[in-house]
Chain A
Amino acid sequence: MTRKQKRLTLIGSAVGVLALAVGLILFALRDNVVFFYGPGELVEKHVGAGTRLRIGGLVKTGTLVHLEGKSVKFEVTDGKADVPVTYTGLLPDLFKEGQGVVAEGALDTAGVFKADSILAKHDERYMPREVADALKKQGVWQEGGAAAQPAKNAGAAQ
């Protein structure tokens, strides 16, 4: 093998791996990215049924209903709009009425959000940043005691 051929092989394989990586990344980014909306934005944007997305807000107090089996129904609110959510499965330890929640799933044709996973990653001092941001945008920070404490933390986020 000549020097030139060796160099070409090296550059060729580097370009090949690079092209493969770029191709895979672009392809994966097109189909595997999930957008996040607050209930208000969800109503505004008229997101179609079946599109995978995440929604976040507070679990509206007094709306949590346990249905047959492991199913639950509740509403997620940001003070501007409420979105009904159904979920089948075990709720995380930190799931509570009046607390922040992030749900991943899709809307059905009736406008009910069918969640297949529920994240409630917070304690009484911390709430998901997405939820805090969405709620702050809607200006519902001082609504009730539940939001007062997290408001301090989220305020520092800016």
Chain B
Amino acid sequence: MIIETGHFALALALALALMQVVLPFWGARTRDANLMATARPLALTQFALVALAYAALTWAHVVSDFSLVNVIENSHSTKPMIYKISGVWGNHEGSMMLWALILTLSGAAMALFSRAIPPRLLADATSVQGLLSVAFLLFILLTSNPFARIETPPMEGNDLNPILQDPGLAIHPPLLYLGYVGFSIVFSLAAGALISGRTDAAFARFIRPWTLAAWIFLTLGIAMGSYWAYYTLGWGGFWFWDPVENASLLPWLSGTALLHSASVMEKRESLKVWTIFLAILTFSLSLLGTFLVRSGVLTSVHSFASDPTRGLFILGILVLFIGGALFLFMLRAPTLTGGGLFAPISREGFLVVNNLLLTAACAAVFIGTLYPLALEAWNGSKITVGAPFFNLTFGPLFAPILLLAPLGQLLAWKRADLLGAAQRLWFVAALGLVAMLGFYAAQGGPVIAVIGAGVAIYLMTASFVEIWGRVFPQGFRKRANAFGRLAGLPLSAWGAALAHAGLGVTLLGLAATGWGVEKITKVQKGETYQVGPYALQATSIEAAEGPNYREAIVHMTISRDGKEVAKFDPSKRFFKTRQMATSQAGIVTLNLGQVYVAVAEQSADGAFDARMYWKPFVSLIWLGALVMSFGGALSLADRRLRVGVARRAKILASAQPAE
């Protein structure tokens, strides 16, 4: 009964979504405030219904209701509870349910927190958001019904893919989807603005908080996915330029460009057409990512649970929304008046350079990801575009951003003094060079690592030069009231500085991979192995029994200069139901670096083959992403933004006849 209720709720949500497409849109055309006001209750009820359906599906997984095909295929009664709950989205149907849940959540959030937005624009935007709901709810109900029953339920299920039985599954997909789908709000607002013809500077203010929020989640989601791949695949790699990973990087790159171009539109009424284009592009790339992952067109480490028969439906959704939005864009773009040109040496000039480089990098990743598919469709040859391609194209296009970002922060709007800004950076630039020499003396090693690490130090420190200049405008010696100025700094200044510095932190982690040590060896009880500065000893080997797997555990101690610093237990798990083995890598973080051991099959003499790594500073790769997201969160919390919106809202509200 609970299952049928869930199924019914989903269908009902579809009906409401259809109403949400029609009613507010009609209201906006006829200037009927009551019709436009239906958007909010419709969006909220829709979210409640999808949440109910989602809860019903979760219930089926929790109680192991094996009359559901979805539960049979992806669950097992002995599976730990956390994976029964997170396993809901560990398969195609459930993952689309999570997508729909977050999509309707975004719709509800937009309806709730957008009092500042002019009612007609909001009505058109909610109507577009409704159309998105219609498309995805139809997709679920017609092609991916998670509530499908089976006549003769089996006693036991097939269990979830063991690689997915990991806390990473509980965290990564929801964060990633919040990012992906969060951009739907920005998309809907852009489409709404194009329909209603309201594309002034205020538009940049409306989309900024939503863009920022989606960007924060996407950053966290990508970082979490990368860390999950790092510790679960057992190869010590954290980014494979796999199409599925690229699919999440594409909207991140264009979303980052959007954040920066929106600030130009807001401050200078310029780059309007470009900003709206980016708003459409970013969510289009999210949709493309969903298509690539969910349609199964890719060969990829992530393609566990894909079914290509659904590909055409998603392709249809893709064409409808991207095509429709671009068509609207084509109709309206010529009518948008630009805010005039500006001097190349100015903050907005540098933000344009930022946008050019980010979109070019995005295009390189896009081509590298889709070229093999296009070629196969064209003449049937199968090719792989791997890391060398992306290093050669993405690297040179992204590298200038790392050097220029701090400079851009120091330039004033309209007209700036490039030489003056560069002079303020000479000290940190010198610091970066000294750091390079220091790293070379301490670690030696590949030149690219040394240069990368030096640039990272420069970026981390240079990002705060702007704040330094605002706290000590007349130099450090005349520091009266410095504390007052420090306290008076807006949060968004800290946000920008931290986000840029976080990029530097990640860069340092990436550069330091050049100094990593790898050892592949046979592990035997009692033996000691030297990996980088650490000595690893296998103290004992133990066989254990988990809830749904058998496990062979190697207990190891790590010591440095004869002193024991840590213990850890890498292991090998064997899952009975799926006849599949996974490596549980042993990872210990020491001084920001990590000792990483993954064991392979046990041979007849009881020894294990193992990969052992010492990866200096590797944790910075993901800590940097945390710092970036924290910077984003600080900007989002900046009162000025919200106050600005509210004040504008009052002006607009008084100009509008009714709400």
Contact = CB atoms under 8 A, between A and B. Distances in A.
A binds B: yes
B388 interface: yes
Contact of A123 (B161, B299, B388): B161
B357 interface: yes
Interface stretch (A2-10, A73-81, A107-115, A138-146): A2-10
B400 to A, nearest CB: 9
A93 interface: yes
Contacts of B353: 13, 17
Given A20-B397, A93-B234, A128 B299 contact: yes
Interface string B577-614: 01111110000000000000000110000000111000
B114 to A, nearest CB: 33
Contact of A10 (B341, B385, B389, B581): B341
Most chain B beta carbons < 10 A, residue from A13, A35, A129, A156 = A129
B352 A32 contact: no
B384 A33 contact: yes
Nearest to A66: B603
B550 to A, nearest CB: 14
A121 B368 CA distance: 21
B338 to A, nearest CB: 11
Most chain B beta carbons < 10 A, residue from A24, A93, A124, A157 = A93
Contact of A156 (B307, B382, B385, B583): B307
Interface stretch (B359-367, B472-480, B621-629): B359-367
Contacts of B309: 156
B462 to A, nearest CB: 22
B303 interface: yes
Nearest to B384: A34
A36 B364 contact: no
Nearest to B371: A29
Contacts of B469: none
Contact of B383 (A9, A33, A93, A94): A33
Contacts of B161: 123
Interface string A21-42: 1001101110111111100000
Contact of B385 (A9, A29, A158): A29
Contact of B581 (A29, A93, A104): A93
Contacts of A129: 296, 298-299, 303
Contacts of B386: 32, 34
Nearest to A16: B356
Contacts of A6: 341-344
A126 B611 CA distance: 26
B258 to A, nearest CB: 17
Contact of B367 (A10, A25, A121, A156): A25
Nearest to B400: A17
Given A9-B344, A93-B600, A121-B301, A21 B360 contact: yes
Nearest to B388: A32
A17 B356 contact: yes
Contact of B364 (A13, A14, A21, A90): A21
B385 A32 contact: yes
B343 A1 contact: yes
Nearest to B300: A121
A70 interface: yes
B396 interface: yes
A82 interface: no
A123 B581 CA distance: 10
Contacts of B609: 70, 90
Size band of the interface chain B makes with A: 35 or more
A49 interface: no
Contacts of A9: 344
A87 to B, nearest CB: 12
A151 B344 CA distance: 59
Nearest to B385: A33
Given A21-B393, A93-B234, A157-B296, A123 B578 contact: yes
Contact of A54 (B234, B352, B384, B600): B384
B383 A36 contact: yes
A89 interface: yes
Nearest to B375: A33
Contacts of B601: 91, 93
Contacts of A156: 307-309
Contact of A70 (B344, B367, B520, B581): B520
B600 A91 contact: yes
A35 B381 contact: yes
A18 B353 CA distance: 12
Contacts of B388: 28, 31-32
B580 A94 contact: yes
B392 interface: yes
B389 A33 contact: yes
A24 B389 CA distance: 9
A3 B340 CA distance: 9
A15 to B, nearest CB: 10
B230 interface: no
Contacts of A10: 341, 344, 352
B440 interface: no
A140 B593 CA distance: 48
Contacts of A31: 388
B304 interface: yes
Given A10-B352, A29-B389, A126-B303, A34 B344 contact: no
Contacts of A17: 353, 356-357, 360, 397
Contact of B393 (A25, A35, A94): A25
Interface string A63-107: 000000010000000000000000001110110000000001000
Given A25-B367, A27-B392, A36 B384 contact: yes
A24 B296 contact: no
Contacts of A54: 384
Contacts of A32: 385-386, 388-389, 392
A4 B501 CA distance: 37
Given A6-B341, A21-B360, A29-B385, A124 B520 contact: no
Contacts of B352: 10, 13
A137 B629 CA distance: 48
A129 B583 CA distance: 24
A14 B356 contact: yes
Contacts of B360: 17-18, 20-21
Given A17-B353, A33-B389, 15 more contacts: A6-B343, A10-B341, A20-B396, A24-B392, A24-B393, A25-B367, A34-B386, A70-B609, A90-B610, A90-B611, A93-B582, A121-B299, A124-B580, A130-B299, A133-B382
8 contacts: A9-B344, A17-B356, A17-B357, A29-B367, A33-B389, A36-B382, A93-B234, A121-B301
Interface of A: 1, 3, 6-7, 9-10, 13-14, 17-18, 20-21, 24-25, 27-29, 31-37, 54, 70, 89-91, 93-94, 104, 121, 123-124, 126, 128-130, 133, 156-158
Give me the 7 closest cross-chain CB pairs, A-B, nearest first.
Answer: A36-B382, A21-B360, A32-B388, A28-B392, A32-B389, A17-B356, A6-B341
